[in-house]
Amino acid sequence: MPSAGTEAPASGPTGGAPAPASGTGATAVAPTAEASASGLTGGAPTPGADAPAPTIAPGAGAPAQAPTPAPGVDATASGHTGATPAPAADTHAHPQPLHDPDPYSTPPYGEPGPWAPAPPVQHPAATPAHGVAVGAPLAAPEAGLAAPAADPWARYDPWAVPAAVAPLQQADPVEEDVKRRRGRRRRALIGGALVIALVSGVAGGVVGVQLERNGGIGAVELPQAGVEAPDRDPGSVAGIAAQALPSVVTLHVSGSGTAGTGTGFVLDDRGHILTNDHVVEPAGKNGEITVTFHSGDTAEATVVGRDSGYDLAVVRVKGVRGLTPLPLGNSDNVQVGDPVVAIGAPFDLAGTVTSGIISARERPITAGGEKGDGSDVSYVDALQTDAPINPGNSGGPLLDGKGRVVGINSAIRSADGGLDPEGGQSGSIGLGFAIPINQGKRVAEELIGTGKATHPVIGITLDMEYDGDGARVAAEGSDGGPPVTTGGPGAKAGIRAGDVITKVDGRPVHSGEELIVKTRAHRPGDRLELTLERNGVERTVSLVLGSSDGD
């Protein structure tokens, strides 16, 4: 905007009365009423060349726009009609200043003094509508009064009190409130971020553990049953095994250049353990026997007594407490088809549990005989079972459905047809044999009590070469003496040389070995009833079994 004292360019054919310049306090006069001579346009005349230009507001960078025509001013686009001009003001009159003289010598407008407050922001007027002449008077002033200047900046008074002043607001409290709100918002954001980070960390850790356990993302996870209680029905195989295993031991025997492994089980809390004679036989008189319990503890053992005829032996461990003996059953109660469980250390695999049934009862078997003189032959009226028994099971317990011992595993039938205590190395073919516990109990009691076992005898010598049906009495004794011991049970019953015994207690016998087995199934002092043939005549005799020590 041009500064005070410069000429404003003419605006065309219209003209206006000049307004005198008054320095810093110049006042604007009303425009003249003279209309445009050309008649082309109508409206308020623009200031003349001598009229002072409106001043620039302090700090403004562009001239203020012309004021918007007041309501009621008729401006037509055709230019044939014009607005009624305001009456001419007295050019010689000195209008009364709008304020008192400035006692502080405020600098000219446009340069605020050092103590003057910043002028309020002036919003430019709206642009006049199309066809309205710029500079049209707002309204006709009353007669005799000078019209106010069209430019509001020309009469800006920094010290004047505006007619309507909006209540001022302090900036500092607002700024403080904004800062507080921002601070609270920032703290809330930080707190939320910490909570999110904590939750994310925990969730990430859980997810990471699951991924590590399950093999990562996309790993296959198959359905699986949950953890169950370890307890089992006492009558099940698992229940029987859980009860019996702490009382079953593994024996490692060495001596005389040989070694072997077998099984045994605890008889009492004094450390007595029952096993097979052929298990401890390698130890001899100066060998070593090591007993390993189910817990893994070991102890040295010594032989209490052994008997090759029954293939039974008792050893004892010392310094061991807390032993639990296995309960003993009654082998006379066992029936074919009853379920049984065998426990042992086949091929030194300690604590092996197998199960099956009783396949037969009173199965006469003989085992051993490697020495050739018959001193190591065992005669057993055995229980037959199909529970898998292998080398190393010898001496282990055969348990009934209530976990009671009904037999001592002793021998197996091998695939080559042989029958011996270990059955070679061919393994089980489902033909296992156990010494009945009734016989084992009697022998164990004698071995613990005296170190020896007694054998029931008839007092006769048998012809082991006889291939006919039954057991024939030999023509002479093994030592050259009589075949029927003088004064023995057989002699008292009237048995003679050449008699063929066909039945024991009404049950048939087919060989000499079978007669020995049937006899040793009894105790000394038991009464037997024998059926025999003499010269084609069958007769029955009764006798009381005698006793002999050793083999």
Site of tokens 């003289």: 101
Pairwise CA distance, residues 342 & 352, whole Å: 8
Q: Are 248 and 343 in contact (CB under 8 A)?
A: yes
User: Distance from first CA to last CA of the chain, Å, rounded?
Assistant: 147
Name the phi and psi angles at 306, rounded to 5. Answer: -150, 155
Sign of CA dihedral 28, 30, 34, 38: positive
* Catalytic pick among 272, 278, 455, 522: 278
List Cβ neighbours of 20 (8 Å cut-off, separation of 6 or more): 26, 29, 50, 91
Residue 104's nearest CA partner among 159, 55, 66 is: 159
Q: Are 320 and 295 in contact (CB under 8 A)?
A: no
Q: Dihedral through CA 516, CA 518, CA 524, CA 525, nearest 10?
A: -130
Bridge partners (DSSP) listed for residue 357 = 339
Q: Are 428 and 414 in contact (CB under 8 A)?
A: no
Pairwise CA distance, residues 544 & 457, whole Å: 9
* Catalytic pick among 311, 386, 420, 463: 311
* Catalytic pick among 247, 394, 410, 414: 394
DSSP letters for 22-34: -GGG--PPPPPSP
CA angle 358, 360, 362 (to 5 degrees): 120
80 part of the active site:
no
Residue 431's nearest CA partner among 356, 339, 331 is: 356
List Cβ neighbours of 534 (8 Å cut-off, separation of 6 or more): 496, 498, 499, 500
Bridge partners (DSSP) listed for residue 385 = 358, 432
Distances (CA, A) of 398 to 53, 361, 440, 509: 132, 14, 12, 26
Residue 393's nearest CA partner among 307, 490, 275 is: 275
Distances (CA, A) of 40 to 13, 14, 136, 173: 9, 9, 15, 59
Q: Are 427 and 512 in contact (CB under 8 A)?
A: no
278 part of the active site:
yes
378 part of the active site:
no
Residue 474 C-beta-side C-alpha neighbours within 13 Å: 18
Residues with a known catalytic role: 278, 311, 394
